[in-house]
Amino acid sequence: MTTETRDIVIVGGGTAGCFAAATAAQNGLDVTLLERKSEDEGGHIACGDAIKGKSTFPDVIDRDYLREESFTNENIQRAMFMNPDGENYDIPFESGSGAVVDRKRYGEVLLEEADRVGAEIEYDTVVKDVVQNGRVTGVEAVRRGDPVQYDADVVIDAAGALSLLQDKVDFDGTTYDTNVNYQQFCSAYREVIEVPEPVEYDDAIVFKPTDELGYLWYFPRTGTEINAGLGFQMNKPSMELVSVLKDDLEERPEFEGAEVKDKLGAALPTRRPYDSAVAPGFMSVGDAAGHVNPTTGGGIPGAAKAGHWAAEVATEAISDGTLGESALWEYNHRVQTDFGKKFAAMDLYNIFGGAHDVDELTEVVTALPGEMIIDLMGKKGSVSLSLPEKVKAAVVTALETRGHWSTLREAYQVNRLAAELKKIYDDYPTTPDQFESWKTSRDDIMDRVYDVTGAEPKY
Ligand SMILES: Cc1cc2nc3c(=O)[nH]c(=O)nc-3n(C[C@H](O)[C@H](O)[C@H](O)COP(=O)(O)OP(=O)(O)OC[C@H]3O[C@@H](n4cnc5c(N)ncnc54)[C@H](O)[C@@H]3O)c2cc1C
């Protein structure tokens, strides 16, 4: 077997891996990114293609080039929730518009950019195992049919949801989060379809609830090219994704005469970020570390940031010549005190939702005035309620939600626990020494969430 040596080896050429590779290369490190797909297929990844805006991306690639090449619809102004039992709701975006991208081109540009700034990219290279000796020191792969070993100071695992590497590393005696199982993931499927006439909602990302606490989406890449997909949580009975999507598309007049251009499915995490995503010589980023909003499935911004931060911290550790958990810990701290706390808080709503019937949740939502829902979701509505309107809304709500008061009370309690949880994540320890006591405080809140909702413990 050939053996090659690098400063950093990154496994996986998605968003997280490309940002990690570009950052490491910009920092002057010798870095190779290993991607199992061919160069032609690189960047072809199952996704809803919706992104919050280019500002979320770290400045290590040419972000204008990325935007020009792949942001096909930059005019997303609102999220529209289709309510099967009543009024639809619009949640306007507060800060600037979002975008829907051509995901294949987006992925290709990230790989191109990582290469341009100095990372080596090896396509057709499937990582099969890790090399370890008290710490991870490299990986074993098959590169275009031939076995190859890469030795490295740090291995960054950017291999996506349910990453194979995590089955191979011996995490005994490390802080790395091994409390992970498939039930904390969602199975999702999407099609890209071309319709003859532009849809009316080309300025919106559209969501619609489905059974099993999933949702269907229509995200317009352009007025006539729509990314349509759906998913279900794997702690619920499985759903026939392809046929449920087909039935829905057939029912909707705007999809008459539609042509399917691409189909793809994948798993994605719908859990809190890993408590610790580092072990000696090893770091996980993006989907491989649960860096996805567990209620919306949005994972691109988290993957980009995590990849960037991991490579920054690894650069420092390599230059100091210390590759243990303490040297890599700063990466955990950055994730958990930034988007990590938000995703951990969103996970509580996911747990709450999972303990209720979708029909019941839809009835509650239908009974609440639209402005109140927007308020509950923490966004400003397009019209603010005057005092008489507020009184009227309160009376209507009280009458219409009769029978659901305990659910509303639970939602209110979960909301308060989510705020408490965020504070705990603000205090995420700066060194591994305090990690166990931090987890105890966090788990106390989780116990209260399970008490309030009656949900089965998720972790
Ligand atoms: C159907 C669906 C819809 C989604 N919609 C959205 C959305 O609208 N907006 C949003 O922000 N997020 C969305 N997400 C989530 C988002 O796609 C992910 O969070 C994001 O792509 C994570 O990036 P990543 O780099 O961590 O992993 P990935 O993009 O999964 O990349 C992992 C890479 O690793 C490679 N790889 C895996 N194993 C190996 C191996 N052994 N050897 C070599 N290479 C390997 C894979 O080929 C792949 O290229 C969606 C996900 C799904 C499944």
Flag whether pLDDT at 31 surpasses 80.
yes
**How far is residue 202's CA from residue 210's CA, in Å, rounded to a whole number?**
22
Q: Give the number of the atom of ligand 1 that is nearest the alpha carbon of residue 37.
A: 47
Instruction: Please list, residue by residue across 393-414, b when 16 or more beta carbons sit within 10 angstroms of its beta carbon and e when fewer do.
Output: beeebeeebeebeebbebbebb
Closest C-alpha residue for ligand 1 atom 10? 298
Q: Tell me the average pLDDT across 333-355.
A: 93
- State the alpha helices, DSSP H only, in 274-324: 300-320
Give the model confidence (pLDDT) of 114-133 as tens digits: 999 999 999 999 999 999 99
Flag whether pLDDT at 142 surpasses 90.
yes
Q: What is the mean pLDDT of the chain?
A: 90
> In a 3-state reduction of DSSP, which class is residue 179?
coil
Q: What is the DSSP letter of 337?
A: I
Flag whether pLDDT at 55 surpasses 70.
no
Q: Tell me the average pLDDT across 293-316.
A: 95
The per-residue pLDDT for 364 is: 63
Closest CA to 383 of 394, 369, 401, 396: 369
**All structural domains of the chain with their residue ranges:** 2-73+98-177+274-339, 183-269, 346-453
Flag whether pLDDT at 137 surpasses 80.
yes
**How far is residue 70's CA from residue 51's CA, in Å, rounded to a whole number?**
11
Give the pair of three-digit tokens for residue 350.
């996911």
Beta bridge partners, 209, equal 215
Flag whether pLDDT at 39 surpasses 90.
yes
Give the pair of three-digit tokens for residue 100.
């829907």
Closest C-alpha residue for ligand 1 atom 17? 47
**How far is residue 230's CA from residue 289's CA, in Å, rounded to a whole number?**
22
Closest C-alpha residue for ligand 1 atom 22? 287
Flag whether pLDDT at 96 surpasses 70.
no
User: Residue 380 C-alpha to ligand 1 middle, in angstroms?
Assistant: 31
* Ramachandran angles phi, psi of 379, nearest 5°: -115, 160
User: Residue 368 C-alpha to ligand 1 middle, in angstroms?
Assistant: 36
Task: Identify the weakest region by mean pLDDT among 174-183, 238-247, 377-386.
Answer: 377-386
Query: Which has more confidence, 344 or 215?
Result: 344
The per-residue pLDDT for 30 is: 98
Residues of the chain above pLDDT 70, percent: 88
User: Residue 137 C-alpha to ligand 1 middle, in angstroms?
Assistant: 25
Q: Give the number of the atom of ligand 1 that is nearest the alpha carbon of residue 268.
A: 53
The per-residue pLDDT for 282 is: 98
Strand-strand pairing, 214-220 and 204-210: antiparallel
Closest C-alpha residue for ligand 1 atom 7? 48
Query: In the CATH scheme, what is the homologous superfamily, with its name and number, of domain 183-269?
Result: D-Amino Acid Oxidase, subunit A, domain 2 (3.30.9.10)
Closest C-alpha residue for ligand 1 atom 52? 47
> In a 3-state reduction of DSSP, which class is residue 392?
helix
The DSSP secondary structure of 348-388, one letter per residue, reads HHHHHHHTS-HHHHHHHHHHS-HHHHHHHTT---SSPPPHH
**How far is residue 266's CA from residue 425's CA, in Å, rounded to a whole number?**
29
- State the alpha helices, DSSP H only, in 29-102: 63-70
Give the model confidence (pLDDT) of 196-233 as tens digits: 999 999 999 998 887 666 789 999 999 999 999 999 88
Flag whether pLDDT at 53 surpasses 80.
no
Q: How far is CA 322 from CA 27, 259, 280, in A?
A: 17, 55, 9
The per-residue pLDDT for 367 is: 60
Residues with CB under 6 A from ligand 1: 11-17, 34-37, 45-51, 126-127, 158-160, 164, 188, 190, 229, 266, 268, 286-288, 292, 297-300, 303
What pTM was estimated for this model as a whole? 0.93
User: Residue 404 C-alpha to ligand 1 middle, in angstroms?
Assistant: 38
* Ramachandran angles phi, psi of 182, nearest 5°: -60, -20
**How far is residue 363's CA from residue 369's CA, in Å, rounded to a whole number?**
12
Fold of 2-73+98-177+274-339: FAD/NAD(P)-binding domain (3.50.50)
